[in-house]
Structure 1
């Protein structure tokens, strides 16, 4: 998922359709190469991955359309050019819950495990997973595949820096 997100952030709008088709082909090849992904318990994890992948790919497609429109118009993407729905769903709403805001604030100081996030928030299981997933979907937080820790993304860190500047009056 991190690879997909990183690719999406750097992607030229004209490359999005090919990228999305290629990603589905890669995942199909993975299922063929490792048939155990079609069996329990692996199928559950793979279904979670494909659901998250499809959500991300939908967002890539939406962003690509917006960027393509701006590119055709010869405009640079300023905040005023972004669709209101995208700004609300990808930036403002994810930070609007106190638990998510406290998590991203803590993550701006360093990575944390799921257990540490649970201790921080007092949330467990599905309740915590919902909020963590919301931050991941907004591309503000990512889970490191190697360590399993949750880390703030460049986008999340930039957003927190902006909030810090607003609070300090700079």
Structure 2
């Protein structure tokens, strides 16, 4: 009888050890896959940026060769200065975020060169350089690594109350909908997992999910598929998070004296 008890205990302990080993192996594989994915994405980004910068360098050469005044004694000297400035500006594309100060510095250098230009016909060359420069800034904006003053500054009077309430405030004005947004911002979620997260069932959960779908905060990958956040939803959620941090850092209001 004692032998049977000892055997059962050993089996239980063995199962426990195997379960622990399984969790360790699974965790190790997950970490390895994440490291591999991060490395792959990093290399893809590097290759992508190398292709872009190579194209930009070629565009600089072709544009200046084609657009600058041909019969000018200063042509090669100016072309060398223009190329250096534009190549330096193009290198900013390799950064995760381009500060306005660096772009302003490049603009100031271009303006200084223009002020020192000796001939009226220099306008032709500077028009071409400015065009290439603006194309580079446009590319930075499309890559979402640079926001110029025109993107940052916005007249408050231009805000549409109806659109803002309908597409931003109203969808996020509910606790469960905000829970859903936070969850799908981290990873895709199934209907079942969202139900477990929010405590909502059936039609109640569908109602809140539909609100977020209608406002383009989230999307469903395919019919009956997982839900994931959209670019719009992510940007708005990030802004809401920043606003929340502002309130957390704010000092507590003083108690009113009687």
TM-score, with normalisation over the residues of structure 1?
Answer: 0.51
**Which sits farther off after the overlay, 152-161 or 80-89?**
80-89
2:205 corresponds to: 128
Aligned residues: 96
Task: Provide the secondary structure at the position in 1 that maps to 2:208.
Answer: helix
| C-alpha displacement of 1:164 | 1.6
Partner of 2:130: none
Please list the CA deviations of residues 68-106 of structure 1 after superposition, one character each: whole Å capped at 9, or x if unmatched: xxxxxxx98946423211110110000001110111011
Which one of the candidate residues 180, 184, 187 is aligned to 1:107?
184
TM, length-normalised to structure 2: 0.34
Q: Distance in 2 between matches of 1:80 and 1:122?
A: 40
Q: Name the counterpart of 1:144.
A: 221
Tell me how far 1:166 sits from its aligned partner: 1.8
- Superposed CA deviations along residues 6-43 of structure 1, whole A, max 9, x for unmatched, are xxxxxxxxxxxxxxxxxxxxxxxxxxxxxxxxxxxxxx
Unaligned runs of 5+ in 2: 1-149, 250-258
Distance in 1, Cα, partners of 2:157 & 2:191: 36
1:146, CA displacement in angstroms?
Answer: 7.2
Cα distance in 2 for partners of 1:147, 1:112 equals 11
Choose the corresponding residue for 1:117, options 174, 194, 207: 194
Between the two structures, name the one with larger relative contact order (CA 8 Å, sep ≥ 6): 1
Partner deviation per Cα, 1:45-79 (whole Å, 9 max, x = no partner): xxxxxxxxxxxxxxxxxxxxxxxxxxxxxx98946
Root-mean-square deviation (CA, aligned residues, Å) is 2.4
Unmatched segments (≥5 aa) in structure 1: 1-74
Q: SS of the residue aligned with 1:94?
A: coil
SS in 1 for 2:216: coil
Larger Rg: 2
Partner of 2:174: 97
